[in-house]
Amino acid sequence: MKEKFAVSLMCMDFLKVGEQLNILNDWVGMYHVDIMDGHYCKNITLSPDLVKSFKKVSKLPLDVHLMTTNPEDWIDPVAEAGADIISLHAETINGQAFRLYNRIEELGLKAGLVLNPATPLSEAAHYLNRIDLLTIMTVDVGFAGQPFIEEMLDKIREAKRIREEKGYHYQIQIDGSCKASTFKKLTEAGADILILGSSGLFGLDKDLKTACAKMTESYKAALG
Question: Residue 123: how many CA atoms within 13 Å on its side-chain side?
Answer: 17
Query: What integer pLDDT is reported at residue 33 of this predicted model?
Result: 97
Query: What integer pLDDT is reported at residue 129 of this predicted model?
Result: 97
Q: How confident is the model at residue 144 (pLDDT cuts 50, 70, 90)?
A: low
Confirm whether residue 144 is marked as ligand binding. Answer: yes
Query: 142 pLDDT exceeds 70?
Result: no
Range with lowest mean pLDDT among 11-15, 60-64, 79-83, 142-146: 142-146
What is the H or E stretch that residue 113 is in?
strand 110-115
Pair type for strands 133-137 and 30-36: unpaired
Instruction: Judge contact between 82 and 51, C-beta under 8 A.
Output: yes
175 is catalytic: yes
Confirm whether residue 176 is marked as ligand binding. Answer: yes
Query: What integer pLDDT is reported at residue 45 of this predicted model?
Result: 81
Instruction: Judge contact between 155 and 136, C-beta under 8 A.
Output: yes
pLDDT per position as a tens digit, 17-52: 999 999 999 999 999 999 998 778 777 888 999 999
Query: 175 pLDDT exceeds 70?
Result: yes
Which of 26, 34, 37, 132 does the annotation list as catalytic?
34
Confirm whether residue 198 is marked as ligand binding. Answer: yes
Confirm whether residue 34 is marked as ligand binding. Answer: yes
Which of 73, 175, 192, 207 does the annotation list as catalytic?
175
Query: What integer pLDDT is reported at residue 98 of this predicted model?
Result: 98
- Residue 121 is classified by DSSP as G
Instruction: Tell me what the mean pLDDT of segment 113-130 comes to.
Output: 97
Distance, CA of 216 to CA of 219 (rounded, Å): 5
Cβ density class 35-46: b for 16+ within 10 Å, e for less: bbbeebbeeebb
Looking at every residue in the chain, the average pLDDT score rounds to: 95
- In the CATH hierarchy, which fold is given to the domain comprising 2-223? TIM Barrel (3.20.20)
34 is catalytic: yes
